[in-house]
Amino acid sequence: MQAHIFRLLATAAALTGSFTALAAQAAAGGQPPLEVERVIIQSPEGERHLWRVKNVSQKDVSAFVACIHNEKGLCVHMHTTIYATRPGPSGRLRPGETREEPPPKLAGAAPAKAVARPTLDYVLFADGSAWGPDSRGQSHVIRAAIAAARGTLAWLKRVLDTQGINAVVEILNTAQEP
């Protein structure tokens, strides 16, 4: 029966162009693909809160959503990271890789101490598959951000090809920060 439901979800996702329906099925079993913790470091500028993330899966990760829950089980702090919108090697979290976000200033920083172990709500892999229930509904936001970043990059490449580097530099110099 479970295999039949999964096939039905996969067919519906393919027909609608949305693979977020598959995420709920993927979360039903298996170890979480990421180890995530909220840490505090003491830096010369004072106390800084960071997210330490380790990819323990065998796949590249494009994005994830984590929640810190209160004593009643309610998500009181949600964190989303979208690697796929970043250029170069930082655009994916590779298997076995660990990152701290935002990257700490290491000069003069005291060792980090864990203060919370969030739960994963959603992970998007680079191959398009997903893990987690997506109970916060962030999969649509993540996929839209990735599509927007890819569209912007394609547009800048077209401007570069048709109008040259000076046109791209002008766009970047006059663009407003979001």
Helix 165-174, helix 139-163: angle, nearest 10: 140
Provide the token pair at 78: 């949600």
Residue 47 pLDDT more than 70?
Answer: yes
The C-alpha atoms of residue 21 and residue 6 are separated, in whole angstroms, by 9
The per-residue pLDDT for range 116-141, each reduced to its tens digit, is: 789 999 999 999 999 999 998 999 99
Q: Which residue has the higher pLDDT, 63 or 50?
A: 63
The C-alpha atoms of residue 93 and residue 99 are separated, in whole angstroms, by 8
The per-residue pLDDT for range 140-173, each reduced to its tens digit, is: 999 999 999 889 889 989 999 999 999 888 888 8
**Distances, alpha carbon 108 to alpha carbons 37, 39, 46, 111, 144, in Å:** 22, 17, 11, 10, 39
| 173 phi, psi to nearest 5 deg | -70, -30
Q: What per-residue confidence (pLDDT) applies to 85?
A: 85
Residue 27 pLDDT more than 50?
Answer: no
Global pTM value: 0.71
Q: Going by DSSP bridges, is the β-strand pair 75-82/61-69 parallel, antiparallel, or unpaired?
A: antiparallel
